[in-house]
Amino acid sequence: MKQKIAWNKSTKANHRKVWLSQRNELSGEGTVDLVRFGSSDISTIMGYNKWSSRKKLYWNLLGRYKTDFKSFKLEMGLRYEEVNRESFECFSSDREGFDERFCDGEKLRKLQSPKYFLLNEEYPHSFSSLDFVMPKGSLCPFTAEITTANRPVETKFVNYNSYATWKGKMPMYYYTQIMHQIMMLSSDAGYLSVIAGGDFYDCLYTEKDREFIQRMNEEIIDFQVIALKAKQIKSLLDKEVSTPNYDLGFVEALESMLVELEPEPNQYDLDFVSNELFPNTNSLEIMGDEEAQKYIDSYKDANERENTAKSDKALARTLITSYMKDFEIMKTDSSKVTNRRTFEGRSYFSVK
């Protein structure tokens, strides 16, 4: 069953701020037991988003990384939405008479502009904010058939050179977004409506892919489980650091758990990190000098000492754990040891 949550009333000046506030609320910001993903998050979860990474999304859900929804390109996309809408309403896939219809305002169909966030009880891990909806009973610009279901229309404003690389095929980072909207709307197809370079219009069409939606749904659930675990740990961490004389070892252990829960990166994630860290690198090789050799020797020496220390630490921990047997806490004249066998499925060990 689908549920529509209307946008709060707002003036044009603060519309984006109100929309973002509601979006954050739906995604579970500030809660411990709620995580939902919007359609624009799905390409990131599945590793297709060349502008973001699962690591950033993970820390964003924990409030450690904030996404900036303000940029010239984004604002241009929003301002072009009405032009995009009118273009789609006049479009036919053979483009016959398109220019004339657009200039004269002769429409082949009419889009609806949703003023709500869409939920679907079949997919409690998700929500969707739709640009436009083509209502059932409309003329499909690709099949020329009268549609029998409401269909999502996602509008984009893109660089023409970027659009040219698509070669007429919908990019995966947009395909996942539209497929998620199709899923949430219980639809049978969807459209990507594109203005490229500010003066060229195109539209791409995709039908519902049940196998892809099933895989997408599984990956979303996996990410949601990770995020919920991390939120529980973050809650314990926040509670601990808010107390006077908090247990530093406990805090460090919780921080370590958050890092360990980070989703494993795939090639898209690694490419994103590389491009972000080294955007201006033109050469892959550099010849080191004596100073560089000093750095290398220092690193190798530190690494060797670190490995030895880790080995000694692990051995000492094993001996202490064995000595404590089934007890969780041991006090001596100089220290206090807390040794829990499992905590949220992970071991925890601290010496103070």
Task: Sketch the domain layout of the chain as residue ranges.
Answer: 2-213
The two three-digit tokens of residue 260, written as one number: 């360990």
Question: CB under 8 Å to 190, separation ≥6 — which residues?
Answer: 151, 152, 153, 154, 178, 179, 181, 182, 205, 206
- pTM of the model as a whole: 0.74
pLDDT of residue 77: 74
Question: What pLDDT, on the 0 to 100 scale, is given for residue 131?
Answer: 94
Structure tokens at 209: 């892919």
* Alpha-helix residue ranges (DSSP H) falling in 187-289: 210-241, 248-260, 267-277
Q: In terms of Cα–Cα distance, which of 106, 144, 351 is closest to 250? A: 351
Cα distances (Å, whole numbers) of residue 202 to 86, 173, 205, 334: 12, 17, 10, 73
Q: Residue 67 has what pLDDT? A: 62
Amino acid at 155: T
Each residue's pLDDT, cut to its tens digit, for the chain (352 residues) gives: 778 888 766 555 567 778 888 888 999 988 999 999 999 999 999 989 877 888 889 988 998 876 655 677 777 777 889 999 999 999 999 999 999 999 999 999 999 999 889 999 999 999 999 999 999 999 999 999 999 999 999 999 998 999 999 999 999 999 999 999 999 999 999 999 999 988 899 999 999 999 999 999 999 999 999 999 999 999 999 999 999 888 988 989 999 999 899 887 766 666 655 555 555 555 557 788 888 888 888 888 888 888 888 888 888 888 888 888 878 889 998 988 888 765 455 566 788 8
One-letter amino acid of 192? L
Q: How high is the pLDDT of residue 309?
A: 86
Separation CA 79–CA 275 (nearest Å): 29
Tell me which CATH code domain 2-213 carries: 3.90.320.10
- Quote the pLDDT of residue 70: 64
Q: What is the pLDDT of residue 157?
A: 92
Q: What is the predicted pLDDT for the residue at 17? A: 77
Q: Could you give the angle at the alpha carbon of 63 between the alpha carbons of 28 and 156, nearest 5°?
A: 70
User: What gap in Å lies between CA 307 and CA 213, rounded to an integer?
Assistant: 45
Give the pLDDT score at 215. 95
